[in-house]
Structure 1
Amino acid sequence: MHEEQLSQTALMAAAARAAHLVVDQEPFIFRDTVAASLLGERAEEFIGYHRAHGDHVVLSGTRAQVTARSHYTERRLADLARDGLEQYVILGAGLDTFAYRSGMIGRVEVFEVDHPATQRWKRGLLDAAGITAPDGLTFAPVDFETDDLMAGLSAAGFDPSRPALVSWLGVSMYLTREAVAATFATIRRLAPGTELIMEYALPPALRDERGSAYADFALPAAAERGEPWLSFFTPEDLSVLLDQHGLAAVEHVRQADSIDTALWRRSDALRPADLCRLTRAAVHH
């Protein structure tokens, strides 16, 4: 993927997280208090789309998707950190803001893994916003097409002998099955106790009505901008692929079940959809 394509995906996700706090009603699913600042001069433009068309199935669906997956992942990280986990790897970090707003930074070392061009762009946005990268955050530039992920992590100071949580959100659907499997093969080399939280796209037969409506709009648009969705998995299929590469699926989580049920009792347009799911998997040796 080219830099501007990666940027588009990252911008849309960050804008949806920022817009959630502006467009939607409480209870908030997830509070990303940094995303709007990171978007800088484009924040109002992007949030403005959500203000004007926030009930549209794609915009409301994107807000539900990015907030629910972040809520689930960071809640799991907090649980693991309480039990002593000290390393958090964000694959395809894009404009993720965890390290710039979390009280866990310092107790947990954060490694943002992404394409070198995307990281240069993000660092420029951080500088423009006056946001300082905290101690405890390391950028690990990796071109997934050509670079070795483990080598990139190790060069950034990651310790493969200690367990980590690896989050991989909003990425796998843009990759081939072979590329997904190759990433699993790297993660299996990490220490026992390591967990992976991955978002994956469902095949059409498993989508519900809302997920299908989202896909009908969003997938052709993604393909037009050079980012077609390439991989789709049933939970059973993904469990087999994980197992083949040394990972055991602990759970597959529907968006509706990824957060407390009370957070879906809403007066705004946010509703859960079955388009993507989360899997939590563990390294087994």
Structure 2
Amino acid sequence: MRTTAVSRNAPRAGRTAFTAAAARAAHLLVDAEPVIFSDTLAAPLLGDQAEELLAYHRMHTTHPVLAGARAEAVCRSRFAEGRLTRSNSGIDQYVILGAGLDSFAYRSTSRRFRVFEVDLPATQAVKRELLAAAGVAEPASVTFVPVDFEAEPVRERLVQCGLDPFRPVFVSWLGVTMYLTRPAIAATLTDLGGLAPGSEIVADHLLPAELRDAAGNAYAAAVGPVAAEQGEPWHTFLSPTAMSELLRAAGFEVVEQAGQRQSVPPRLWRRTDALQPAALTTLTHARIPQPAGIPGH
């Protein structure tokens, strides 16, 4: 069995996007209740790759790498969307950095958010083809923003595409930072630090080996080399402290940090399946503070 549930026939621009979507889709197919995160459009968006990608999870449900991929994908999605959709934030602009096959804008019944999906142009082209093939309409509330994080300023491109720079924004940045260099991460965060006060971000990052547990190190040892072989090597590992320092330097204040275990309610880990929390990544939620004397959101 290969150690990553992604086909070599998948479009190269969307290889990581397909892996994450397959993990979210498989959670609803092979894992027991309680459901951690329900992405009902993940499977349709896999297109003609669905049968092959999901077969890995069906045939090897308890394999620690595949179970680990599912746990990672659903925990981070639940964490980010839970903080986005809380009723008292007042934020209605949502930026998804490295959107891949994220389906929030297409399964959400709320029309509160204007969604800006940021990714490489090739990945966006693949996604739009898959949406059309699945009969999923692109709502008017979605804007595709083509950006190369290593080379282009994100905030400028967002404003060019219609984002209101004078109102707060919620940003999710999931499953991306490990593929970037640390200077590119810092540059993107500094750029985002110029968003309106009250803006928020949820970002995840891979932990260095000394901060991972046995399950986290086993996952990294199995998946990291395959990612590199497929042309998507991991470049950056950050401790929670290091990520906090990058965010503070960019003008954010850290609200909370959570590993997989802490990212969802404890009841969701009372399981009869193979899903177990691993010390592999950390999720950080941060915001741009309001100037002194101005009430926050």
- For Structure 1 versus Structure 2, the TM-score category normalised by the shorter chain is over 0.9
- Who is 2:94 aligned against? 88
Displacement of 1:83 after TM fit? 3.2
- Who is 1:18 aligned against? 25
Q: Is 2:49 the counterpart of 1:42? A: yes
Q: Is 2:141 the counterpart of 1:122? A: no
**2-side partners of 1:8 and 1:30: how far apart?**
22
**1-side partners of 2:185 and 2:194: how far apart?**
15
RMSD in angstroms over aligned alpha carbons? Answer: 1.3
- Who is 1:193 aligned against? 198
Q: Is the 8 A contact 2:154 2:192 kept in 1?
A: no
1:170-197 superposed Cα distances (whole Å, 9 cap, x missing partner): 0000100000001111110001111110
**2-side partners of 1:125 and 1:4: how far apart?**
11
Q: Is the 8 A contact 1:187 1:283 kept in 2?
A: no
Q: Is 2:51 the counterpart of 1:54? A: no
- Who is 1:276 aligned against? 281
**2-side partners of 1:42 and 1:223: how far apart?**
21
- Who is 2:294 aligned against? none
Superposed, 1:253-268 pairs within 5 Å as 253-268=258-273
Which amino acid in structure 1 is aligned with residue 92 of structure 2?
E
**1-side partners of 2:236 and 2:49: how far apart?**
31
- Who is 2:83 aligned against? 76
**2-side partners of 1:120 and 1:226: how far apart?**
19
Among candidates 230, 243, 254, match of residue 235 of structure 2: 230
SS, match of residue 150 in structure 2: coil
Q: Is the 8 A contact 2:174 2:204 kept in 1?
A: yes
Displacement of 1:144 after TM fit? 2.0
**1-side partners of 2:231 and 2:122: how far apart?**
17
1:13-54 superposed Cα distances (whole Å, 9 cap, x missing partner): 000100110010111100000011111221121111100112
Displacement of 1:4 after TM fit? 4.1
1:209-239 superposed Cα distances (whole Å, 9 cap, x missing partner): 1101111101111111111111111111221
- Who is 2:207 aligned against? 202
The aligned length equals: 281
Q: Is the 8 A contact 1:5 1:227 kept in 2?
A: no
1:77-96 superposed Cα distances (whole Å, 9 cap, x missing partner): 111x5432111100000000
- Stretches of structure 2 that go unaligned for 5 or more consecutive residues are 1-9, 292-297
Which amino acid in structure 1 is aligned with residue 151 of structure 2?
T
**1-side partners of 2:214 and 2:58: how far apart?**
24
Q: Is 2:31 the counterpart of 1:9? A: no
Q: Is the 8 A contact 1:114 1:142 kept in 2?
A: yes
Among candidates 139, 146, 149, match of residue 154 of structure 2: 149
- Stretches of structure 1 that go unaligned for 5 or more consecutive residues are none
Displacement of 1:135 after TM fit? 2.1
SS, match of residue 35 in structure 1: coil
- Who is 1:160 aligned against? 165
**1-side partners of 2:165 and 2:213: how far apart?**
39
Runs ≥4 residues deviating over 6 A? none
The TM-score normalised by the length of structure 2 is: 0.92
Q: Is the 8 A contact 2:153 2:188 kept in 1?
A: no
